[in-house]
Structure 1
Amino acid sequence: MIRYEKYHGTGNDFVIVDANADVPDWSAFATAYCDRETGVGADDPDRETGADGVLVLDLDAAPTAPEVEMRLYQPDGGTAAMCGNGARCVARWVADRTGTEEVIIHTPAGTRRAEVHGDEVAVEMGVPSFDSADIPLNRDRPLVEEQVEGWEVTALTTGVPHAVIFVDDVSDVDVEAAAPAVRHADVFPEGANVNFAAETASGFDQRTFERGVEGETDACGTGAVAVAAAARRIGLTDDESVSVSPPGGDLTVLIPRKGPAVLRGPVTREFEGELSPTPTQP
């Protein structure tokens, strides 16, 4: 058996396992334990079953700030280069072990710095890009407020590809029905996360259909940054600090004129336990 811990950032929940664990197939491990009916926590009615991903972490207690290598395996068995709420959970996991307030996180999308202040964690998210090659898109020019599968879409990358769609009220959208056509649209050769966002008095509401999860999640950190950056791009806000509210809670996104975006919000440690490294598939 191997040890694990469960954390969530505004409802975006992850199973966290040390990279030294003897797991022969991380993709199969993630598919089994992220399942929302039979996955981790299914044996306890008071716990949320399954997860939005498995974070595999290799911690190095460096002499300055602790450094950790982060790999994310998604429920479909694939991987993602970056996950904002996942990175915030990683920083809190490291802080819980080392007492540090600063963590350096190495991801496939680049190195990110995080600051931990109690339950609040802020992480650098890189500079959002609307460049077609960065996203990537099957075209040579940006995609900003153009029709894709019947929706007006703005596309960008915040470490992973995102399609942002602004609507009057996110509660009026059937996300599970509407998002897949955009997620698999020909213009996105690697697919895209699909965000529906609505302007509010305090910022923006957000609902996200996540690539790899293949369903709606309670929060998406890279999506929150995408919503804030897209809103700035099309003129819905000129603020550097933007409040974005997915169903799981409130996040703050800082989009400076220069430099990386920063995602801030709460992180909660849920529970811990032991799992078989070779799960039986349901």
Structure 2
Amino acid sequence: MKFTKMQGLGNDYVYVNCMEQMVEDAAETARRVSDRHFGIGSDGLILICPSDKADFEMRMYNADGSRGEMCGNGIRCVGKYVYDYGLTDKTSLSVETLGGIKHLFLEVEDGKVSLVKVDMGPAILEPEKIPVTAEGSRVVDEPLQVDGKTFRMTCVSMGNPHAVIYVDDVQGMDLEKTGPSFENHERFPNRINTEFAHVLDRNTVEMRVWERGSGETLACGTGACAVAVASILNGYTEDQVTVRLLGGDLKIEWDREANKVYMTGPAEVVFDGEIRL
């Protein structure tokens, strides 16, 4: 299987051009290639496929083989791949995902994509659509009991579910210990991606993320969008937010009137290769 390893702020995936080759068992392939000791090493597998609804389809699998609805860092890399590898000459693209059709705007320098802005679509706030077990029309600054402690959460779906937890010390948290307790909490029927966030100022928030099915990753694009939306809803920030992740910064803007979230950030090719499965 020919592949390209790519990363967006350290959130790395193995990409396969399914316009030219097929992947028979994507879930098992994702588990094998993601292994950082016996495989290629990645946070998951992303297949770039033809689509009858958009320019391309992105099929995303987590490191444990589970299917993911959307990946913000992953879709930026899809935009770079299809342009840099000659699958399109467009700088405005539509990409089909399980989380809906997303629109990408590519910034090109010297014939290569340098930055990708993604229209991530609406911030979904209704509990049943996220999903999260809750009363009322939104889950904003609600208490959540985890491992005998009370946390405050704000829940957002960006095509996949997120719970944003505000803490005083992001870097001091033991996510390997606490992350699974949030991910598998009974209030989240489909499990949850959890962002631990700390507001630095009116335009800047730092975060770490425990991703459903993958564990802690260096960055999560949909998670950064969820953190920005949650911070705005709680009155902590303005409508344009720089989100600082372990792998770097993302620029997030929420147009509340249109309910559209825009994410801008880099995408990089790590290497091309071939693996026998």
Name the residue aligned to 1:168. 168
Does the CA contact (< 8 Å) of 1:94 and 1:103 recur in 2?
A: no
Q: What is the one-letter code of the residue matched to 2:21?
A: A
Distance apart, 1:143 and its partner CA = 2.3
Q: 1:205-248, CA deviations, whole angstroms, 9 ceiling, x for partnerless residues?
A: 110000011x10000000000000000111101x2211001100
Does the CA contact (< 8 Å) of 1:183 and 1:191 recur in 2?
A: yes
Superposition pairs for residues 107-256 of structure 1, below 5 Å? 107-118=97-108, 119-141=114-136, 142-148=138-144, 149=146, 150-201=150-201, 203-213=204-214, 215-237=215-237, 239-256=238-255
Does the CA contact (< 8 Å) of 1:72 and 1:80 recur in 2?
A: yes
**Cα distance in 2 for residues equivalent to 1:205 and 1:152:** 17
**Cα distance in 2 for residues equivalent to 1:271 and 1:103:** 24
Is 1:34 the counterpart of 2:24? The answer is no
Moved more, 95-104 or 107-116: 95-104
Name the residue aligned to 1:55. 46
Aligned to 2:5, what secondary structure does the other structure show?
strand
Gaps of 5+ in 1: 41-49
Distance apart, 1:61 and its partner CA = 11
**Cα distance in 2 for residues equivalent to 1:175 and 1:125:** 27
Name the residue aligned to 1:44. none
Distance apart, 1:94 and its partner CA = 1.1
Distance apart, 1:22 and its partner CA = 3.1
Distance apart, 1:21 and its partner CA = 2.0
Distance apart, 1:153 and its partner CA = 1.1
Distance apart, 1:169 and its partner CA = 2.4
Stretches of 4+ aligned residues off by more than 6 angstroms? none
Name the residue aligned to 1:103. 93
Does the CA contact (< 8 Å) of 1:145 and 1:153 recur in 2?
A: yes
Sequence identity of aligned pairs in percent? 35
**Cα distance in 2 for residues equivalent to 1:61 and 1:117:** 25
Moved more, 222-231 or 137-146: 137-146
Distance apart, 1:147 and its partner CA = 2.0
**Cα distance in 2 for residues equivalent to 1:70 and 1:169:** 35
**Cα distance in 2 for residues equivalent to 1:234 and 1:61:** 39
TM-score by length of 1: 0.88
Distance apart, 1:102 and its partner CA = 1.3
Q: 1:184-217, CA deviations, whole angstroms, 9 ceiling, x for partnerless residues?
A: 111101110010011114501110000011x100
**Cα distance in 1 for residues equivalent to 2:209 and 2:119:** 20
Is 1:73 the counterpart of 2:61? The answer is yes
Q: 1:55-101, CA deviations, whole angstroms, 9 ceiling, x for partnerless residues?
A: 11114699xxx811110011111101111111111111111123431
Number of aligned positions between the proteins: 262
Does the CA contact (< 8 Å) of 1:28 and 1:77 recur in 2?
A: yes
Name the residue aligned to 1:3. 2
TM-score by length of 2: 0.90
Q: What is the one-letter code of the residue matched to 2:227?
A: V
Does the CA contact (< 8 Å) of 1:133 and 1:140 recur in 2?
A: no
Aligned to 1:200, what secondary structure does the other structure show?
strand
Bigger proportion of residues as strand: 2
Does the CA contact (< 8 Å) of 2:51 and 2:96 recur in 1?
A: no
**Cα distance in 2 for residues equivalent to 1:22 and 1:160:** 26
Name the residue aligned to 1:270. 270
Q: What is the one-letter code of the residue matched to 2:183?
A: R
Gaps of 5+ in 2: 109-113
CA RMSD of superposed structures (Å)? 1.7
